[in-house]
Amino acid sequence: MRVAVANNKGGAGKTTVIAYLAEALAARGRRVLAIDMDPQANLSRRFGYGEAELVDMVTTAEVVAANTPGCAAQGIVGCRWSLPGNAELVERIDLLPARYDLEARVSEAGTLGAHERLERALNGVDEDYDIVLIDCPPALGHLTQLGLAAAESVLLVLRPEYDHLQGAIRVRDFIQTYRRHLGRPHLHVAGVIINEHDRRRGLHHWHTDSVTDTFGTLLWSPPVPSRAALAEAIDAAAPLHGRGAATRPLITVFAALADHLEAQAHAAA
Ligand SMILES: Nc1ncnc2c1ncn2[C@@H]1O[C@H](COP(=O)(O)OP(=O)(O)OP(=O)(O)O)[C@@H](O)[C@H]1O
Ligand SMILES: [Mg+2]
């Protein structure tokens, strides 16, 4: 199942959720492909590919430009997390990286069939993966549309704050309005994840209720708590496993969220 992760609001935690959902799925033996459709290339960096290495690599920028069926295969690389004693977890995660000049592909928007270019590039390429996670930029423009047109469902990530909820609602409404134009008449929101939840803040309780009122049972539990240990792992481009007691509760949280994702994948199969 291909899942696009989106919010029309920056900094919600989309890339973070992809990295650690991938880890949770790989920890239970699933094979995961993560696709970076954001020119910021945050996911690529967090899986071990910095700007200097990306210069000579085949990335989503080349794959979308090439526009040939199955060409994504040329860009897929392994996750480069260092996890001594659990290398097989890391081996189950692959990446189609991005580079900053993915932004240049926006110039193709509006040309005939341009929104189908990622879908075409993935043709026959991702069948061996249990889950494909597509990281979208915080926008509803061409790059996100490429991700949506390649996806079967959408996962929304938001902080329990007003602007984040509005960004998530805009994605939901965009999908409902344009899914036929994207060639995906059945595209739908499969789940909603609250990230950076701080239970000491009344505002977060209040907005969690707003998210429930808006999305009902689509809201997955538990929320991802706001934790320094998580920000540190992201910063270090490291997995949550192997970082001691501080990340252990977070591993449990992402395992529970991976249960929701797998339930969706089974329902769709
Ligand atoms: N649960 C969390 N606890 C603490 N810090 C977090 C948490 N989730 C995310 N962050 C912080 O927020 C930053 C932004 O997260 P992330 O890059 O995943 O968001 P994003 O939605 O992908 O952003 P963009 O819209 O730019 O793509 C991270 O670099 C990290 O420092
Ligand atoms: Mg991101």
The domain ranges of the chain are 2-268
Cβ-proximal residues to 54 (8 Å cutoff; 6+ apart), any chain: 41, 44, 97, 98, 99
Which protein residue's CA is at the shortest distance from atom 30 of ligand 1?
A: 231
- Residue 194: phi, psi to the nearest 5? -90, 130
Residue 254 has what pLDDT?
A: 98
- How far apart are alpha carbons 96 and 118 in whole angstroms? 11
Q: How far is the CA of 40 from the centre of ligand 1 (A)?
A: 13
Q: How far is the CA of 234 from the centre of ligand 1 (A)?
A: 8
Q: Pick from 9, 15, 159 the residue to mutate for probing ligand 1's pocket: most ligand atoms within 8 Å of its CB.
A: 15
Residue 268 pLDDT class (50, 70, 90 cuts): confident
pLDDT value at 56 more than 90: yes
Ligand with an atom nearest the CA of residue 10:
1
Query: Of 29, 12, 53, 2, nearest to 237 (Cα)?
Result: 53
Helix, strand, coil tally for the chain in percent (to 5): 50, 15, 35
Put residue 137 in one of left, alpha, beta given phi > 0 → left and psi -120 to 50 → alpha.
beta
Q: How far is the CA of 12 from the centre of ligand 1 (A)?
A: 6
Can you tell me which residue has the tokens 């977890």?
89
* 3 state SS of 94: strand
CB 22 within 8 Å of CB 15: no
How many Cβ atoms sit within 10 Å of the Cβ of residue 68? 13
Q: Write down the CATH number for the domain with range 2-268.
A: 3.40.50.300
| Pairing mode, strands 131-135 and 153-158 | unpaired
pLDDT digits (tens, 9 = 90+) for 14-47: 999 999 999 999 999 999 999 999 999 999 999 9
Ligand 1 close to Cβ of residue 159 (< 6 A): no
- How far apart are alpha carbons 151 and 53 in whole angstroms? 28
- How far apart are alpha carbons 239 and 20 in whole angstroms? 7
pTM metric for this prediction: 0.98
pLDDT digits (tens, 9 = 90+) for 189-236: 999 999 999 989 988 888 999 999 999 999 999 999 999 999 999 999
Ligand 1 close to Cβ of residue 37 (< 6 A): no
In degrees, to the nearest 5, what angle opens at C-alpha 232 toward C-alphas 228 and 238? 140
- How far apart are alpha carbons 221 and 192 in whole angstroms? 9
